[in-house]
Structure 1
Amino acid sequence: MTATSPVTHPRPHPTHEVFNQPEPRVNVNEYDLNPVLAEAVTRHDAGWADDELRQVGALVGSARFQQDAALANIHTPELRAFDRWGHRIDDVDYHPAYHRIISAAVAHGAHTRCWDDPRPGSHVARAAIFLLFGQIEPGHACPVSMTHAVIPSLELQPDVAALWVPKALSRSYSPDLSADKQSAIFGMSMTEKQGGSDVRANTTVARPVGAGGPGAEYLLTGHKWFCSAPMSDAFLVLAQAEGPGGEGLSCFLLPRVLPDGTRNVFRIQRLKDKLGNKSNASSEIELDGTVAVMIGEPGRGVRTIIEMVSQTRLDCVLGSTAGMRQSVAEALWHTRHRTAFGAMLADQPAMTAVLADLALESEAATVTAMRLARAHDEDAGDAERAFRRLATAVAKYWICKRGPHHSYEALECLGGNGYTEAFPLAMRYREQPVMAVWEGSGNVIALDVLRAMTREPESVAAFDTEVNLARGTHPVLDGHLDRLRRELTELAGLDAAAAQRRARRTVESMALALEASLLVRFSPTAVSEAFIAARLGDDRGFEYGTLPVGTDLQTILARH
């Protein structure tokens, strides 16, 4: 190099310019952006809750809430069985973000507002709030749901309810365990490792402290295979009662802290390493002379706790529906803000068909879930109660089973981004299966539908009346309703084994009839016609995005 040569410097090429990527989907109002939900709220007599629902929609759509949701699932609960000096404490530590989320949900009554303010539409308003919170962070919804669902079971034992129901109705939340708390979060624990869904095989023993019987103290000894939210203040559990107060599988309220302030014996053996539902701790526990109080009649524990199970089954439907809404919202946001092959991704014909089909599934789930919520209100008459008995189980089976495939297809709309934990649909894909497993997996629910048909024939009549409100509006739906009536008649004449083999097919037919009927009555014609053709028509496909030719895709998507 000569003295006169110019000095050269490296000139790196820019390689990390970010373009054609969507902006973060934050600081949006999840209620205002969901007209399907808002319409259902008004339709089912809960329009009085609109202002609060908008507040919740803005809260859960905020950047901070979404960041808390991510943190709660990244920093998962940790068991501290002992303190540093070796004392048994059986504590579970959560990230502060989890406590902020559940505190906000409780403050807005996502747990028990329908019991605190019973009027037409109360369950609908509560369901909408639960949906909005669960759309962004599903794990906390487990203890929120159980606290909601425990009230009908507690009220079967008025003396116990007088102490615990006011605590459950409280809008305050504290993660601390103490005897003088004025609020309470509830859990439940039924299954054992040898029995699973066959809870009558439980071996946990309950021995009376005195004479025993309803409202009396017992000492429980045994092992529970699944105990969700182990840091709850109290639990409903099943155990085999002994003694003069009555024998057999019974229901008990088990507090974590005794009235004198000491910890009840509640040994957390381990936290479950679950596929999803990461922010919520689930555990195995051992009971050893653990103090509990009998709820309801001895030997009728299943009948007592089934009140709680019924409510949580509805929440499984709501949880799956919330997941579908998140999946559709995220898929649409991505594809409406990203170009590919010279056009907006959402406008590419193949993608448009997939998005519209996902939106159809979400809308069908939403209108069904909210119709069920209305049937659970205080003013429900005999026919409504009969309808909800069967329809809740039918919807729980079908909508919860549709959730995992739905979330997978939405994840695929984001391409490689969707498969990373940086985006919420990976979490959602892992989350959706729990709704199908919790409170009865597919076979358990299908058999429960058979049981309801046999023991409560009025529920079949009420269901038939509901789905046939749409008769005469669409020939394909009419044909399906005719086939369903024949199928239900045939099913009633089968022996038990043959009926069980047919159960899943019948429940599927019932679910599609219910969803299609509700869409015909409550959604735009373009939506109902597309759903009927895609789910019941002769040229229906198996995968999302195989909608019949002529489907009004843009009208469907405009609602999402």
Structure 2
Amino acid sequence: MSSPQPATADIGYVTDPGPLENTYTSDPSLQRTLAWYLPSATLESVQPHLTHLGSEAISEQVREWSADAERNVPYVKSHNVWGKRYDYDRLVTTEGWKQLGKWGARNKIVSAGYDQRLGVDRRLVQYALMTDGAAFILSSRINKLPPTHPFHIAFNGLISEKDDHWTSGQWMTERAGGSDVQNTETWATYSPLATPGSDPLGDGDYLISGFKFFSSATDANVALLLAKTPSGKLSTFLAPLRRTVVGNDGVPRIVSNGVRIHRLKNKLGTKELPTAELELKDMRAHLLGELDQGIITIAPLLNVTRLHTFVGSLAGWRRAISITKSFAKARTTVGEPLWLIPMHLRLLADMEVKHRGAMNLAWFTVALFGIVEDQAASSNKLAHLPHPGKEAEVECQESMGGVGYMDEADEPEFNISRIMRNNAVNSIWEGTTNVLASEFVRFLIKKDNLGIFGTWLDRTLTMIQRADLQNALITAWSTLRARFTTQDAASTVADGRRFMFTLAWILSGALLALDAERDNDAVTTEIACRWILSAEGGVGDQVFHDIVTVSGNASSSSGGHEHLQWDCRIAWGVDLPANRASGHRSLQKADSKL
């Protein structure tokens, strides 16, 4: 008998999960959701682009850009070697970061949202982001302005699909206020130029001075910001970060538009995105919207950005699930394939159930936004609902053992740690969970909003044909509404998270049930039953547990082999193989039972 061969650094077992699949064609949840919301002709027309985008998203080129952006974080050069300050602070970002921005523009990441040929469906085929928020505000105003107005320059730059496309920052947060922007210490003074210059966008009529504590997208071309006018009230302004001036020698040069980078933030995640503390000194800006109506003017940007954080969380969550499933297919433990081990299979199925519920809620919100936008009903508000994903990403990381804990910048395609770090901002950006919950409660308390919403939800729940699903959701909604109307305002705000998460569970459940009934898909029906009757889905621990609870009509498949069979169908889209795994050596005997 030959002696055993010890492992070395280069010899022995190595897990090889193989490349990730196309992020669009391998995601039946996304495909099914789009097929529900988009007309067949529209879906058919955008399908090739989505497939192409899904392929490029996992390409070696995009991985290289992503790795480069993570390795080489932004930095600032304010003075030359002789100690002279530059005309504007040099914010140095990596080539990978720049190329990712160009790639996004070429793939219509922003411009698709303004393709009028898609009508109310244009938001459903677009991945909304913050630059889009600025474009959205401008799009509702430029039609009333002459073609020579500088806002046309900004709008065209923001929706460009070319490599010289523009991006926008939004600067609201200050040291004194945080989300309470009424404490803003930035002031704007009306001071138009006596003689118009050669830079219409850079020659705004207001001078703005102050200090912004969290300024996103510091490498942007323009920014939307809040400042107080002499009345003490907030207004919204648009300003370029640099402007063109003509010196005494008659030569034009680009200078800072009163913006100095105090320092860049050292963040947990999104390290490639430069976020800074900015000192503004006589920054020339244009008033956007009505004077002293800053919150109303900038609110649409917040809705778009919050929608981005929702969809962005889902995207990160889906990538984490894809990595986890790729690992499970390649890994064996106790001599059995990991993807078939019952406990692991149950975990993967639970992930898919939760993600499907959140997916339905997200795309319903996107569709609603598209309708509101198309009707130009800017006074309508989107429901402020929670951002999913953080706990689920931890589960994905844990399911891969030690390798899931690694944080390799050079291998972004399998880096769940990076996904977690980057997605952490989504529950903070544009309002923490507490801020969103308080806004959610205030919105429902205001006027007859609860009555209007309740009428719509009542009608929606009656559309569900399956009696046990309908009854469970109606009971939950009736209990929640009664609690909302009987508690005093202070208690309702204190319970804001529970109200918000419980309503999200009800809405997601209704959407899952209606989705299942449109074609009686067996897997979607099982997901709806698990979410509604077995309370296996959920959107967080902070729900009213007497409302989100196991129903007496819970599915008969809630345990044993039948449940395991459905786990496999939900997680992998196939029936459980006959030679299923046991998951433990003590159960691998022929007479053992699961």
Which TM class, normalised by the smaller chain length? Answer: 0.7 to 0.9
Paired residues for 1:209-248 under 5 Å = 209-210=191-192, 217-242=205-230, 248=233
Question: Deviations for 1:442-468, whole angstroms, at most 9, x for unmatched residues?
Answer: 111111112221336345236524751
TM-score by length of 2: 0.79
Gaps of 5+ in 1: 1-10, 131-144, 175-182, 541-546
CA contact 1:208–1:216 (8 Å) conserved in 2: no
CA contact 1:22–1:333 (8 Å) conserved in 2: no
3-state SS of paired residue (1:553): helix
Residues 173, 474 of structure 1: alpha-carbon distance in 2 compared, 3 angstrom cutoff: farther
- Pairing 1:442–2:433 present: yes
Code of the residue aligned with 1:106 in structure 2: it is A
1:94 aligns with 93
Pairing partner for 1:408 from 386, 394, 398:
394
Pairing partner for 2:278 from 285, 292, 306:
285
Pairing partner for 1:186 from 155, 168, 173:
168
CA contact 2:154–2:222 (8 Å) conserved in 1: no
1:421 aligns with 407
CA contact 2:464–2:514 (8 Å) conserved in 1: no
2:125 aligns with 125
3-state SS of paired residue (1:329): helix
CA drift of 1:153 comes to 2.0
Question: Deviations for 1:250-280, whole angstroms, at most 9, x for unmatched residues?
Answer: 1000211224443211111111111111221
CA contact 1:236–1:253 (8 Å) conserved in 2: yes
Mapped partners of 1:424, 1:40: distance in 2: 27
Question: Deviations for 1:96-143, whole angstroms, at most 9, x for unmatched residues?
Answer: 11111111111111123111335132111103xx6xxxxxxxxxxxxx
Residues 41, 12 of structure 1: alpha-carbon distance in 2 compared, 3 angstrom cutoff: closer
CA contact 1:20–1:338 (8 Å) conserved in 2: no
Residues 13, 486 of structure 1: alpha-carbon distance in 2 compared, 3 angstrom cutoff: closer
- Pairing 1:276–2:269 present: yes
Pairing partner for 2:190 from 208, 216, 224:
208
Mapped partners of 1:96, 1:360: distance in 2: 39
Question: Deviations for 1:370-394, whole angstroms, at most 9, x for unmatched residues?
Answer: 22212222577889999x8343x12
CA drift of 1:493 comes to 4.3
CA drift of 1:489 comes to 3.7
Mapped partners of 1:259, 1:462: distance in 2: 55
Mapped partners of 2:181, 2:271: distance in 1: 25
CA drift of 1:474 comes to 5.3
Which region of structure 1 is more displaced relative to structure 2, 76-85 or 100-109?
A: 76-85
Mapped partners of 1:120, 1:445: distance in 2: 26
More helix by share: 1
Residues 506, 211 of structure 1: alpha-carbon distance in 2 compared, 3 angstrom cutoff: farther
TM-score by length of 1: 0.84
Pairing partner for 1:258 from 243, 257, 271:
243
CA contact 2:119–2:374 (8 Å) conserved in 1: no
3-state SS of paired residue (1:170): coil
3-state SS of paired residue (1:80): strand
Code of the residue aligned with 1:406 in structure 2: it is A
Paired residues for 1:158-557 under 5 Å = 158=142, 159=145, 160-174=150-164, 183-210=165-192, 217-242=205-230, 248-260=233-245, 261-378=254-371, 389-391=381-383, 393-394=384-385, 397=386, 400=387, 402-422=388-408, 423-455=414-446, 457-458=448-449, 460-461=453-454, 464-465=457-458, 467-468=460-461, 471-473=464-466, 475=468, 478-523=471-516, 524-532=524-532, 533=534, 534-535=536-537, 538=549, 550-551=562-563, 552-557=566-571
Question: Deviations for 1:323-364, whole angstroms, at most 9, x for unmatched residues?
Answer: 110111000000111111111111111111111111112222
Mapped partners of 2:359, 2:81: distance in 1: 49
Mapped partners of 2:89, 2:459: distance in 1: 49
Code of the residue aligned with 2:317 in structure 1: it is M
CA contact 2:512–2:528 (8 Å) conserved in 1: yes
CA drift of 1:311 comes to 0.8
Mapped partners of 2:66, 2:151: distance in 1: 33
Code of the residue aligned with 1:56 in structure 2: it is L
Mapped partners of 1:220, 1:91: distance in 2: 21
3-state SS of paired residue (1:238): strand
3-state SS of paired residue (1:377): helix
1:106 aligns with 105
What is the RMSD of the two structures over their aligned residues, measured on CA atoms? 2.8
Runs of at least 4 residues off by over 6 Å: 379-386
Code of the residue aligned with 2:72 in structure 1: it is H
Code of the residue aligned with 1:70 in structure 2: it is A
Identity %: 22
Gaps of 5+ in 2: 195-202, 246-253, 409-413, 517-523, 539-547, 552-557, 575-594
Code of the residue aligned with 1:233 in structure 2: it is N
3-state SS of paired residue (2:213): strand
